[in-house]
Amino acid sequence: MSEIHNKIELKQFRKQLRNSMTKAEVLLWINLKNGKLNEHKFRRQHSVGNYILDFYCPQINLALEIDGSQHYSDEGKEKDLERENFLKTLNIKVLRYSNFEVLSNIDGVIEDIRKNLPPPTTS
Protein backbone atom coordinates (compact mmCIF):
# COMPACT_ATOMS: atom_id res chain seq x y z
CA MET A 1 0.00 0.00 0.00
CA SER A 2 1.37 3.42 -0.89
CA GLU A 3 1.96 6.02 1.80
CA ILE A 4 -0.98 8.40 2.20
CA HIS A 5 0.19 10.45 5.20
CA ASN A 6 2.40 13.49 4.60
CA LYS A 7 3.23 12.79 0.98
CA ILE A 8 6.63 14.17 0.09
CA GLU A 9 5.22 16.11 -2.88
CA LEU A 10 3.04 18.14 -0.48
CA LYS A 11 5.84 18.90 2.00
CA GLN A 12 6.63 22.40 0.74
CA PHE A 13 2.96 23.36 0.57
CA ARG A 14 2.38 22.07 4.14
CA LYS A 15 5.32 24.17 5.32
CA GLN A 16 3.96 27.22 3.53
CA LEU A 17 0.56 26.72 5.20
CA ARG A 18 2.17 26.37 8.64
CA ASN A 19 4.00 29.65 8.09
CA SER A 20 0.85 31.51 7.03
CA MET A 21 -1.74 30.30 9.52
CA THR A 22 -4.86 32.40 10.10
CA LYS A 23 -5.40 34.11 13.46
CA ALA A 24 -7.98 31.45 14.30
CA GLU A 25 -5.55 28.63 13.49
CA VAL A 26 -2.81 30.26 15.60
CA LEU A 27 -5.18 30.66 18.55
CA LEU A 28 -6.33 27.05 18.33
CA TRP A 29 -2.74 25.80 17.92
CA ILE A 30 -1.73 27.57 21.14
CA ASN A 31 -4.40 25.49 22.88
CA LEU A 32 -3.50 22.20 21.16
CA LYS A 33 0.28 22.03 21.00
CA ASN A 34 2.42 20.07 23.42
CA GLY A 35 -0.38 17.68 24.39
CA LYS A 36 -2.45 20.34 26.17
CA LEU A 37 -5.71 18.51 25.45
CA ASN A 38 -5.81 15.25 27.39
CA GLU A 39 -2.18 14.60 26.46
CA HIS A 40 -3.08 14.07 22.78
CA LYS A 41 -0.53 15.22 20.25
CA PHE A 42 -1.92 17.23 17.35
CA ARG A 43 -0.04 18.01 14.15
CA ARG A 44 -0.47 21.15 12.09
CA GLN A 45 -1.04 20.97 8.34
CA HIS A 46 -0.87 17.19 8.15
CA SER A 47 -1.68 15.67 4.78
CA VAL A 48 -3.79 12.58 4.23
CA GLY A 49 -4.00 11.57 0.60
CA ASN A 50 -4.11 14.78 -1.39
CA TYR A 51 -5.80 16.71 1.41
CA ILE A 52 -4.05 18.89 3.97
CA LEU A 53 -5.79 18.93 7.32
CA ASP A 54 -5.52 21.99 9.54
CA PHE A 55 -4.90 19.83 12.62
CA TYR A 56 -4.71 16.06 13.04
CA CYS A 57 -4.34 13.73 16.02
CA PRO A 58 -3.06 10.38 14.69
CA GLN A 59 -3.56 8.60 18.04
CA ILE A 60 -7.33 8.81 17.68
CA ASN A 61 -7.84 9.63 13.97
CA LEU A 62 -9.32 13.06 14.65
CA ALA A 63 -9.05 15.99 12.23
CA LEU A 64 -9.90 19.59 13.11
CA GLU A 65 -10.79 21.94 10.29
CA ILE A 66 -11.00 25.71 10.74
CA ASP A 67 -13.21 27.17 8.05
CA GLY A 68 -12.87 30.57 6.46
CA SER A 69 -15.42 32.16 4.13
CA GLN A 70 -14.43 30.02 1.11
CA HIS A 71 -15.90 26.97 2.86
CA TYR A 72 -19.42 28.44 2.80
CA SER A 73 -19.76 28.76 -0.97
CA ASP A 74 -21.47 25.97 -2.92
CA GLU A 75 -18.11 24.91 -4.35
CA GLY A 76 -16.47 25.00 -0.90
CA LYS A 77 -19.24 22.91 0.65
CA GLU A 78 -18.91 20.36 -2.16
CA LYS A 79 -15.14 20.10 -1.72
CA ASP A 80 -15.52 19.75 2.06
CA LEU A 81 -18.04 16.94 1.61
CA GLU A 82 -15.69 15.16 -0.81
CA ARG A 83 -12.82 15.52 1.67
CA GLU A 84 -14.91 14.28 4.61
CA ASN A 85 -16.15 11.27 2.64
CA PHE A 86 -12.55 10.35 1.77
CA LEU A 87 -11.43 10.74 5.39
CA LYS A 88 -14.40 8.70 6.58
CA THR A 89 -13.16 5.75 4.49
CA LEU A 90 -9.98 5.93 6.60
CA ASN A 91 -11.96 6.14 9.87
CA ILE A 92 -10.87 9.74 10.43
CA LYS A 93 -13.46 11.85 12.24
CA VAL A 94 -13.64 15.53 11.27
CA LEU A 95 -14.71 18.36 13.56
CA ARG A 96 -15.31 21.71 11.84
CA TYR A 97 -15.27 25.18 13.35
CA SER A 98 -15.51 28.58 11.71
CA ASN A 99 -12.79 31.20 12.08
CA PHE A 100 -15.35 33.38 13.84
CA GLU A 101 -16.27 30.62 16.28
CA VAL A 102 -12.63 30.00 17.22
CA LEU A 103 -11.86 33.69 17.63
CA SER A 104 -15.01 34.56 19.58
CA ASN A 105 -15.46 31.40 21.66
CA ILE A 106 -12.15 29.55 22.00
CA ASP A 107 -13.19 28.09 25.36
CA GLY A 108 -16.34 26.59 23.82
CA VAL A 109 -14.37 25.18 20.88
CA ILE A 110 -11.79 23.61 23.21
CA GLU A 111 -14.56 22.11 25.34
CA ASP A 112 -16.24 20.65 22.25
CA ILE A 113 -12.95 19.13 21.07
CA ARG A 114 -12.32 17.76 24.56
CA LYS A 115 -15.71 16.00 24.48
CA ASN A 116 -14.47 14.09 21.41
CA LEU A 117 -11.22 12.94 23.04
CA PRO A 118 -10.67 9.93 25.23
CA PRO A 119 -9.79 10.87 28.83
CA PRO A 120 -6.14 11.41 29.71
CA THR A 121 -4.13 8.40 30.75
CA THR A 122 -3.37 8.02 34.44
CA SER A 123 -0.07 6.72 35.68
Look at the chain and report how many structural domains it folds into: 1
User: Considering the domain boundaries, does residue 80 fall inside one?
Assistant: yes
Q: The CATH number of the domain where 42 resides is what? A: 3.40.960.10
Dihedral sign of CA atoms 58, 59, 61, 66 in order: negative
Give pTM, 2 decimals: 0.89
Per-residue pLDDT tens over the stretch 84-119: 999 999 999 999 999 999 999 999 999 999 999 987
> Is 3 among the domain residues?
no
Helix (H, G, I), strand (E, B) or coil at 114: helix
- Please check whether residue 50 lies inside any domain of the structure: yes
Torsion of CA 30, 31, 35, 39, to 10 degrees: 180
Closest CA to 24 of 114, 100, 113: 100
Structural domain of 58? 8-115
Report how far residue 9's alpha carbon sits from residue 113's, in angstroms, rounded to the nearest whole number: 30
| 59 torsion bin: left (phi>0), alpha (psi -120 to 50), beta (else) | alpha
Is residue 2 in a domain? no
What pLDDT is stored for residue 97 in this prediction? 97
